[in-house]
Structure 1
Amino acid sequence: MSVTVYSAGPTCPQCTATFRHLGARGIEFTKVDIRDVESAREYVTDELGYSQAPVVVVDDEPENHWYGFRPDLIDRLSIEAGS
């Protein structure tokens, strides 16, 4: 499973909570700071339609993503991954 978290940087409390919860569940993920990567910002806003961070994308599937701190969805990923 591939998980990418598009973040608004270290001052984003929902981003930090998402990182911690993913880590606590043993889910490996890639962080992308949308402030530093223009193409990532365009992907999150233009393609996925989000205006808030974090945005979590699973397996690069356009239908498998969400925004905000969602411990329920992270827990579901953990169960699916067998973590």
Structure 2
Amino acid sequence: MTRIRYFAAAEEAAGRAEEHRSEGTLGELRAALASEYPGLGGILPRCAVLVDGERRDDDAPLAGVTTVDVLPPFAGG
């Protein structure tokens, strides 16, 4: 199982700071999250999604992955 961590607006939209999931690829994970959390689905395309600290394509396998971070765009100075 992969640990999914949500930050800022993504955490608010998902209603949780983290969870464990078992989707096979990053694309499958994105689709499942958008379906289960409609509010997250609205911002997910603009989020940086890091797989063990690196940006990856949707076909990236999640087997053996420890952590996926969902980071919405941040503003600030």
- TM-score for both structures, normalised by structure 1: 0.27
Select the structure that is richer in helix. 1
Q: What's the TM-score once normalised by structure 2's chain length? A: 0.28
